[in-house]
Amino acid sequence: MLQEDVRKHLNTCILPFWKSMLDPEYGGYYGLLDFDLHLDKQAVKGCILNSRILWFFSNVYLTAHDSSALPYADHAFEFLKTYCLDQTNGGIYWSMTYDGQVDDPTKHTYNQAFAIYALSSYYDATGRQEALDTAMDLFQIIETKCRLGDGYGESYTADFIPNLNDKLSENNVIADKTMNTLLHICEAYTELYRVSENPAVRERLLWVTEEFYRSVYNPDLHRLEVFFDAEMNSIIDLHSFGHDIEATWLIDRALDMLKDQELSEKLSAMLLDITETIYHCAYQNHSVMAESENGVVLTTRIWWVQCEAIIGFYNAYQKTGDIRYEQAAEDIWQYITTYFIDPRPHSEWFSQLDADGQPFNRLPIVEPWKCPYHNGRMCLEIMRRTRTKQEVLH
């Protein structure tokens, strides 16, 4: 059973592995474990990595009711507020040195959003008002310092002067706006609104959610566009399969929080259209491919894409009752257990596989983007959703 499988994997692999990455000397969590399982205790510590770890341990407590996770969440929170937060200009830096000095002072909107996401969950887990206050401060930072037109810019200097968005631009383009940043603002504001019920957060979450329908969704190609200029014109022919399936359930979560029937009805067809497109064009050989650029499909299997596909397909199954989506989620989980989970002791998941299921590029097991946010969240989401389903049935 999928629920029991992911619960066991969370408790026997993901949770103990990330507990072992705690840095007891300098705070936070170690930033690099290479492919050969060599730990670099002096590697850069990405602030996104720390926020995601804070979110993870907070939600292990909230969903699995595992109190052993709380000290690890506390540890991440202390590092975030002491080192990652700019006490002069406000906002979260991009990265820190191993001992808590500023490594990269860039203030990226994406990074502010992840801190909001994490702090909101941590507040829910602990009741610490300081965490909610910091999340609200970061909300104000995004809304006053990171706006570009009606929407959001991307990258800024330490004192919030716009600069080149090279951190979230790929595929040989530099984007003024990205679907990815907008998606994680949506994610962050959903969690912040859930725990605060703040009307200003609700207002912006409504705008962000509708912006996907208004400016990001391409109904002719049945996908979300990825990279944009300042006026939200798409600047590349790119279909990101992973971000599309992730967006379907994160936007659904936002709609569940907003409880705006008219908006939900307007977006539901869009979300199912995107899901069905991924099912037909990207779900192959028991897994989901990475992306397609100019019609050329990248067949690489990426760890986080599989996680989001499981949640996205299971969400669609819950919404529609279509058994194909439940079967796809279970099928992808079997692929993960066969190929992605590293069988070596004291390891976790491989980052990328080739089309034959082999790790081919020796990417690290832990690095600033590789963390328990996607695979840990997949386990927790399936546990939460299947528990809710069983409670309804009984």
Give me the amino acid identity at 213: Y
- Check pLDDT > 90 for residue 171: no
- Listed residue (225, 232, 266) closest to 247, CA to CA: 225
Task: Give dist(CA 111, CA 89) in Å, integer.
Answer: 15
Question: For residue range 112-166, what is the model confidence (pLDDT) as tens digits?
Answer: 999 999 999 999 999 999 999 999 999 999 999 999 999 999 999 999 999 999 9
Neighbours of 259 (CB within 10 A): 8
**Whether 130 contacts 92, CB under 8 Å:** no
In DSSP terms, 151 is beta-bridged to 148
- The pLDDT confidence band at residue 319, using thresholds 50, 70 and 90, is very high
Task: Give dist(CA 125, CA 65) in Å, integer.
Answer: 10
How large is the average pLDDT for residues 58-79? 98
- Determine the 3-state secondary structure of 154 from DSSP: coil
**Whether 182 contacts 151, CB under 8 Å:** yes
Question: For residue range 222-246, what is the model confidence (pLDDT) as tens digits?
Answer: 999 999 999 999 999 999 999 999 9
- The pLDDT confidence band at residue 67, using thresholds 50, 70 and 90, is very high
Question: For residue range 86-106, what is the model confidence (pLDDT) as tens digits?
Answer: 999 999 999 999 999 999 999
**Whether 282 contacts 241, CB under 8 Å:** yes
Segments of 171-218 assigned E as strands: 177-178, 217-218
Q: State the first-to-last Cα distance of the chain, in angstroms, to the nearest integer.
A: 18
Give me the amino acid identity at 97: T
Segments of the chain assigned E as strands: 45-46, 95-96, 102-104, 107-108, 147-148, 151-152, 155-156, 177-178, 217-218, 223-224, 227-228, 238-240, 283-284, 287-288, 291-293, 296-298, 301-302, 352-353
Task: Give dist(CA 297, CA 267) in Å, integer.
Answer: 27
Task: Give dist(CA 300, CA 360) in Å, integer.
Answer: 10
pLDDT number for residue 388: 55
Q: Token pair of 71, please?
A: 């000290």
**Residue recorded with tokens 């963390």:** 371
pLDDT number for residue 391: 45
pLDDT number for residue 390: 47
Averaged confidence pLDDT in the chain: 96
- Check pLDDT > 90 for residue 182: yes
Give me the amino acid identity at 219: P
- Ordered structural domains, the chain, with CATH: 2-393 (1.50.10.10)
What's the predicted TM-score (pTM) here? Answer: 0.97
In this prediction, what percent of the chain has a pLDDT beyond 70?
A: 98
Torsion of CA 115, 121, 124, 129, to 10 degrees: -10
How large is the average pLDDT for residues 183-196? 98
- Check pLDDT > 60 for residue 284: yes
- Check pLDDT > 50 for residue 392: no
